Chain A
């Protein structure tokens, strides 16, 4: 265990600060950042040592951003990272600078992406956008067509969030779905994540994730896109249904296993009666 009397090096302090920031619940990055800034009390150290953490946080969270003059948002993800603080929007075919603290995009430039995969990417994006509109009240999706490890891959990212700090809650769901188009038979691999924080007079978080794998037949762009989205829809519906069922199970079994609403006898304890048999027992055992 750490000896509290020995002062920590700057390096170790900023590592801890960065760690707090990357674990901030959705919608609470600024609060955590401000608190950490006060604790560290060294802005230069924080800015230099934790810059990577701010970027990592936004990419992990699939942070949505609107480019100037656009109605649609694009997601900040590792797949769109061009380095030097620039990201790209595969739908608009534009690269831009992203400020991780202000969460603002600027300096758009044309960006072509991988043209060989364009028709596949566009078909999947169209089908997925329709799906997201049907199921996510505030959802955003970004679809990439990239060669990864020598394989032509479609990567679909979906994000939906609600931030209501005035009501003491925030929530976000993210999912990432991939498959390769190089062969007629492929595996669709998905990761689904949900995080909800409710902190009115208390502190509760739901943090959940699920991995999914399904096979898909790769034919033409339109047909494959349709099947891809069907797989996503089924898996995400199943996941959401399972979470609701878990709440019921938790209420009926787990929670009860920890602490019952009523005693095993199904009546509340009579505290006046309890003394008479208890004293005797304790005195016997003493």
Chain B
């Protein structure tokens, strides 16, 4: 997995230099690992993405991030729409490199909030209040947990299954004997339970 993350950014550049006309399409549809930059004025790290290339930045509530990520860097960028607002929430957490393990979790959540006519509006005395009102709804859309579980069980689980399908530690002859024995046992057990009932 590490090899692929490292290669991805280079591959994008390689395709673009071969076919410059694909530049915009490629950059907007392929997610690169999030880059960290430093705001020297405030002395804090923030994350770069397509959405804050020319906009303002606003550092998000770190409570959620610290509880789930115990550290890491996060940034939120919001912009107005005609009937509401949209935003992107970025989170980057790198493993601490201990125990010879290297890893990185990048989240890019893109959110659109539509305010319908007639709906109660929050009193806008400052950007803080807008965030407060909508935060519980955004927070409860727990996509990250679903993705994390999916990653763990399906994606990683599946690759492990494939590896064990390529080679068997147990001798294949023994494996098929074991399977046959298991099937026989199951048959006997199910016949017995039928007789008893």
User: When the two chains form the complex, which single residue of A135, A138, A160, A271 contacts B136, counting CB atoms closer than 8 Å?
Assistant: A271
Distance in Å: Cβ of B99 to nearest Cβ of chain A: 7
Which residues from chain A contact B142 at a C-beta distance below 8 Å?
268
Contact of B155 with A136 in the complex, beta carbons under 8 Å: no
Q: Report how far A20 CA is from B167 CA in the complex, Å.
A: 28
Which residues from chain B contact A23 at a C-beta distance below 8 Å?
7
Q: Report how far A49 CA is from B3 CA in the complex, Å.
A: 26
Interface-centre pick from A2, A240, A244, A257 (highest chain B CB count, 10 A): A257
Q: Report how far A139 CA is from B167 CA in the complex, Å.
A: 8
Which residues from chain B contact A20 at a C-beta distance below 8 Å?
11, 14
Contact of A272 with B136 in the complex, beta carbons under 8 Å: yes
Name which residue of chain A comes closest to B132, CB basis. Answer: A275
Q: Report how far A134 CA is from B162 CA in the complex, Å.
A: 18
Which residues from chain B contact A82 at a C-beta distance below 8 Å?
none
Distance in Å: Cβ of B27 to nearest Cβ of chain A: 11
Interface-centre pick from B18, B70, B128, B171 (highest chain A CB count, 10 A): B18
Distance in Å: Cβ of B9 to nearest Cβ of chain A: 12
Contact of B162 with A162 in the complex, beta carbons under 8 Å: yes
Known contacts A4-B17, A271-B139; is A196 also within 8 Å of B162 by CB?
yes
Q: Report how far A39 CA is from B160 CA in the complex, Å.
A: 34
User: When the two chains form the complex, which single residue of A137, A206, A263 contacts B67, counting CB atoms closer than 8 Å?
Assistant: A263
Within 8 A of A (CB), among B124-166: 128, 132, 135-136, 139-140, 142, 144-145, 148-149, 151-152, 155-160, 162-166
Within 8 A of A (CB), among B89-103: 93-96, 99, 101, 103
Which residues from chain B contact A178 at a C-beta distance below 8 Å?
none
Interface of B is mostly: helix
Q: How many A-B residue pairs have CB under 8 A?
A: 169
Q: Report how far A135 CA is from B96 CA in the complex, Å.
A: 38
Q: B5-20 toward A: CB 8 Å interface, digit per residue (1/0)?
A: 0010001011111111
Contact of B162 with A16 in the complex, beta carbons under 8 Å: no
Which residues from chain B contact A282 at a C-beta distance below 8 Å?
61, 128
Contact of B63 with A278 in the complex, beta carbons under 8 Å: yes
Residues of chain A touching chain B, judged by Cβ–Cβ distance below 8 Å, are 2, 4-5, 8, 12-13, 16-17, 19-20, 23, 39-40, 133-139, 160-162, 169, 171-173, 194, 196, 198, 202, 204-207, 236-237, 240-241, 243-244, 247, 249-251, 253-255, 257-261, 263-265, 268-269, 271-272, 274-275, 277-279, 281-283
Complex A-B: 9 CB contacts under 8 Å: A20-B11, A20-B14, A162-B165, A196-B163, A206-B163, A240-B164, A244-B160, A269-B64, A271-B136
Given contacts A160-B167, A205-B1, A271-B140, 4 further A-B contacts (CB under 8 A): A40-B18, A135-B171, A253-B101, A282-B128
